[in-house]
């Protein structure tokens, strides 16, 4: 059985600046013997790493990529999927600090 813990993210760094959420989002961390999966339920994104810190870092990188993709309106891989997640992300964001 996997151990599950929770982590809260209030902001992440992107090329556009530091992006802050209106209220912190909860990240579920599922631990297995080999790796940790970080799952952001509101956005439906997951990231995996050898430990919790790396999984969270990867998830924050994914958030930055999603944010920048929406900001630049460059939907290359899967436009509908990125756009709906991007719209959810925008609804959760409060500010960007440059």
Token pair recorded at residue 60: 């924050």
The pairing of strands 3-14 and 36-40 is: unpaired
Identify how many contiguous H helices and E strands the chain contains and give both numbers: 2, 5
At 86 the pLDDT is 80
At 97 the pLDDT is 87
- The 10 Å Cβ neighbour count of residue 7 is 16
Residues facing residue 39 across a β-bridge: 28, 46
In the chain, which residues have pLDDT < 50? 1, 75
Q: What is the average pLDDT value for the chain, to the nearest integer?
A: 88
State the total domains in the chain.
1
Q: Domain span at residue 46?
A: 3-97
Evaluate the CA torsion angle 43, 7, 48, 62 in order and state its sign: positive
At 52 the pLDDT is 96
At 2 the pLDDT is 74
Q: How crowded is the C-beta side of 83, counted as CA atoms within 13 Å?
A: 7
At 80 the pLDDT is 61
Q: pTM surpassing 0.75? A: yes
At 29 the pLDDT is 97
At 45 the pLDDT is 94
């Amino acid at each position: 059985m996997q151990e599950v813990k929770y982590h809260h993210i209030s902001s992440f760094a992107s090329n556009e600046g530091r992006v802050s959420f209106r209220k912190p989002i909860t990240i579920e961390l599922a631990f297995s013997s080999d790796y940790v999966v970080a799952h952001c339920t509101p956005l439906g994104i997951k990231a995996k790493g050898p430990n919790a810190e790396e999984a969270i870092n990867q998830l924050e990188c994914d958030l930055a990529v999603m944010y920048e993709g929406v900001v630049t309106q460059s939907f290359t891989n899967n436009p509908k999927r990125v756009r709906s997640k991007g719209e959810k992300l925008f609804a959760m964001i409060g500010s960007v600090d440059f």
